[in-house]
């Protein structure tokens, strides 16, 4: 197993990585030796995240772009490939959340959420695939969710639909790209105490429900997502393809 988790010499592009789960996944890849490109809409936030990683000796670059904008997203990815001559790992993690009762859910928010989560993953995977197939090696990882991938809750129909779509996309990419040495897998987090979930974490009633509903009895900590991303990006997962890895404290295993 020695060296199987090393990413030395590899280049990774991680969307939605200025904070939260995306930043933790990027950090794990950088700690394993990859040159990691952080992506997000807020250039200042990206630079703060990058500076913190560089202070720990990590090789990090930034690429500010809104992945819901196809031209901007593909241009950012193309620039990375042009600069480094390769792309080994793509983590499609960018996301937003809108919560409304179904009769009040605006169509424009539905479309924007699907564009951010699902369409961007398709667009970037399509672009990355050309480079990875030429290399005869690549790892595409998408951030799904227990919501949509296995279960659902009220007021988040767009989110659940997008995440279910990502699971289907994962399987489609796995079977099409696998013969060329490129694998595609999904990570499906449960309830993590991220900035996106701040309001839910601070809701005592909801937090009590999460703790009761999750077999390990607590919210996930952001640092608990990095190992899953590193595994799927590494040679240790060379025969793992089309898989959805639930990182949910047992939530989806329990009634």
Q: Which of 98, 159, 191, 239 is catalytic?
A: 159
Rounded to whole angstroms, how far apart are CA atoms 87 and 97? 29
**Which has more confidence, 103 or 196?**
103
Helix (H) or strand (E) holding 39: strand 35-40
Assign 165 a pLDDT band (cuts: 50, 70, 90): very high
pLDDT at site 197: 85
pTM exceeding 0.75: yes
The SS3 call for residue 59 is coil
37 inside domain: yes
Q: Which long-range contacts (CB under 8 A, 24 or more apart) does 59-64 make?
A: 59/30, 59/34, 59/35, 60/26, 60/30, 60/35, 60/36, 61/35, 61/36, 61/37, 62/37, 62/38, 63/13, 63/37, 63/38, 63/39, 64/39, 64/40
Rounded to whole angstroms, how far apart are CA atoms 88 and 194? 27
Total domains, the chain = 1
Rounded to whole angstroms, how far apart are CA atoms 225 and 66? 23
Beta strands in 162-224 (DSSP E): 182-189
Is residue 234 exposed (0-12), middle (13-18) or buried (19+ Cβ within 10 Å)?
Answer: buried
Give the pLDDT mean for 167-189.
98
Tell me how long the chain is.
255
Cα–Cα–Cα angle for 40, 123, 88, rounded to 5 degrees: 75
Question: In the sheet that 138-143 helps form, which strands lie side by side, from edge to edge?
Answer: 60-64, 35-40, 11-14, 89-92, 138-143, 182-189, 244-247
Task: Give the model confidence (pLDDT) of 24-34 as tens digits.
Answer: 999 999 999 99
207 inside domain: no
Task: Give the model confidence (pLDDT) of 13-52 as tens digits.
Answer: 999 999 999 999 999 999 999 999 999 999 999 999 999 9
Which tokens sit at 248?
Answer: 């949910």
pLDDT at site 1: 66
**What percent of the chain stands above pLDDT 90?**
95
In terms of residue numbers, what domain contains 23? 11-189+225-247
CB 202: neighbour CB atoms within 10 A?
Answer: 9
What CA–CA distances, in Å, run from 9 to 49, 69, 120, 128, 236?
Answer: 21, 29, 26, 17, 16
174 inside domain: yes
pLDDT at site 196: 81
182 inside domain: yes
Task: Give the model confidence (pLDDT) of 120-150 as tens digits.
Answer: 999 999 999 999 999 999 999 999 999 999 9
Which tokens sit at 13?
Answer: 């592009």
209 inside domain: no
61 inside domain: yes
pLDDT at site 56: 98
We report the CATH number of the domain holding residue 93 as 3.40.50.720
Q: What is the mean pLDDT of the chain?
A: 97
Assign 198 a pLDDT band (cuts: 50, 70, 90): confident
Helix (H) or strand (E) holding 44: helix 43-54
154 inside domain: yes
Assign 199 a pLDDT band (cuts: 50, 70, 90): confident
pLDDT at site 92: 98
216 inside domain: no
Residue 191 appears among annotated catalytic residues: no
């Amino acid at each position: 197993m020695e060296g199987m988790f090393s990413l030395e010499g590899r280049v990774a592009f991680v969307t939605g990585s200025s904070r939260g789960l995306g930043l933790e996944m990027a950090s794990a890849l950088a700690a394993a030796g990859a040159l990691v490109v952080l992506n997000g809409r807020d250039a200042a936030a990206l630079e703060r995240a990058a500076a913190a990683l560089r202070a720990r000796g990590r090789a990090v670059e930034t690429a500010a772009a809104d992945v819901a904008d196809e031209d901007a997203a593909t241009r950012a990815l193309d620039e990375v490939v042009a600069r480094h001559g390769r792309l080994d790992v793509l983590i499609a993690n960018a996301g937003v959340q809108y919560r409304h009762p179904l009769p009040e859910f605006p169509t424009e928010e539905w479309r924007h959420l699907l564009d951010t989560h699902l369409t961007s993953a398709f667009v970037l995977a399509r672009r990355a695939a050309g480079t990875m197939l030429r290399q005869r090696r690549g790892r595409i990882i998408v951030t799904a969710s227990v919501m949509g991938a296995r279960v659902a809750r009220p007021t988040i129909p767009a989110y659940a639909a997008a995440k279910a779509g990502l699971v289907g996309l994962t399987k489609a990419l796995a079977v099409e790209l696998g013969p060329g040495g490129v694998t595609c897998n999904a990570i499906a987090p449960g309830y993590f105490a991220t900035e996106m979930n701040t309001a839910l974490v601070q809701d005592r009633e909801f937090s009590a429900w999460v703790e009761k509903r999750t077999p390990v009895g607590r919210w996930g900590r952001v640092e608990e997502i990095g190992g899953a991303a590193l595994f799927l990006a590494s040679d240790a997962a060379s025969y793992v393809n089309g898989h959805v890895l639930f990182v949910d404290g047992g939530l989806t295993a329990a009634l």
